[in-house]
Structure 1
Amino acid sequence: MQLKKYTDYSLRVLIFVGLKPQGELASIKEISDVYDISHNHLGKIVHELTRLELLEGIRGRGGGIRLAKNPEEINIGKLIRVIERDFALLECFNTGENHCVISPGCTLKHVLNKALHSFYHVLDQYTLKDLIANEEELRSLMTQKL
């Protein structure tokens, strides 16, 4: 299983913003510099995370972004389900586009579906708070990049 870069970057944005001290805003430029990700690409991700009410954007001079929820309220499994809208492992997972001749009798799709459910079951047990529990180490690694 492989997550899209968009999902990876979304998680990185949330981790970065989640590490900010209470009340401190983050900027897309700051995140772009730390992770070496395109500013424009991050803008789209931040827009989506704001639309999902996970981030809050503060406009104007001195503006930026911050978490719209507490880190313990942001469930990783739920987030990935929303961002990875079409997490089809095989062609037979795609509705309407299955051209596999053995699909009606194939058990592989059931095995992989079970694996996918297990994957999400594990992710459902974690929140953003869990991902930033080692905040001092993460901050240190990020400041080395700046």
Structure 2
Amino acid sequence: MKLTRYSDYALRVSLYLAINQARLVQISEIVKVYGLPQGNIMKLTTDLVGAGFFESVRGRTGGIRLAISPSELTVGQIVRHTEGGQALVDCSSCILAPECGLICIMSEAKQAFFRVLDNYTVEQVIARNPKAIDILSLTGGE
């Protein structure tokens, strides 16, 4: 399974917010650190605020932060939200779809994929790569 760029960005932003959880983070900072398109990150953060993953504080000194502790927020929760209910294979135009055995297999594979992602919290991802803390916390707020 290949994740969309949207999911990739959501995971990157979540990691950045987890590492910098002691403060509010401005979207422009995240865009600068990762070199991502601002419009995409604005849309993404609006979506993740609406879904309850992030909190947003408006105003000149505002920003975003995680709404869920990094020790409780799983990679699976984020990816499940950003990837939506998409099937692994689009069977809508296939003549075999009503009788095909692949549909169940693909559904089972997708469930297994998410079970693995559900086993890892954002905090655990950071702990697996301590250098990420150095890289992402030194760049913040500059």
- Global fold match (TM > 0.5): yes
Looking at structure 1, the residues matched to 106 and 18 of structure 2 have their Cα atoms a distance apart, in angstroms, of: 33
In the aligned structure 2, how far is the partner of 1:144 from the partner of 1:69? 23
Matched, 1:113 2:112: no
**Counterpart residue number, 1:67:** 66
- Secondary structure of 1:122's aligned partner: helix
Residue 126 of structure 2 corresponds to: 132
Residue of structure 1 equivalent to 2:8: 8
Unaligned 5+ runs, structure 2: none
1:54 is matched with: 53
Could you tell me how far 1:135 is from its partner in structure 2? 6.4
CA distances 1:54-111 after superposition (whole Å, capped 9, x unpaired) = 111112222111111211221221222222113221122xxxxx22122233222222
3-state SS in 2 of match to 1:56: strand
Q: Which amino acid aligns with 1:46?
A: T
Q: Is the 8 A contact 2:53 2:66 kept in 1?
A: yes
Q: What is the TM-score of this pair, normalised by structure 1? A: 0.84
Counterpart residue number, 1:122: 116
Mapped contact 1:19–1:135 kept (Cα < 8 A): no
Secondary structure class of the residue paired with 1:71: coil
Cα distance change, pair 31–111 in 1 and its aligned pair in 2 (3 A): same
Contact between 2:26 and 2:63, CA under 8 Å: does it hold in 1?
yes
Letter in 2 for 1:109: I
What's the secondary structure of 1:13's corresponding residue? helix
Which one-letter code corresponds to 2:70 in the other structure? Answer: P
- The alpha-carbon deviation at position 52 of structure 1 amounts to 1.3
Aligned residue pairs, count:
140
Amino acid aligned to 1:6: Y
The 1:114–1:132 alpha-carbon spacing in structure 2 relative to 1, beyond 3 Å, is same
Q: Distance in 2 between matches of 1:108 and 1:135?
A: 37
TM-score by length of 2: 0.86
Tell me if structure 2 keeps the 8 A contact 1:15–1:132. yes
Structure 1: which 5+ runs fail to align?
A: 93-97
Q: Residue by residue, what CA displacement relative to the aligned partner does 1:85-143 show, whole Å, maximum 9, x if unpaired? A: 13221122xxxxx2212223322222222211110110111111112225641133334
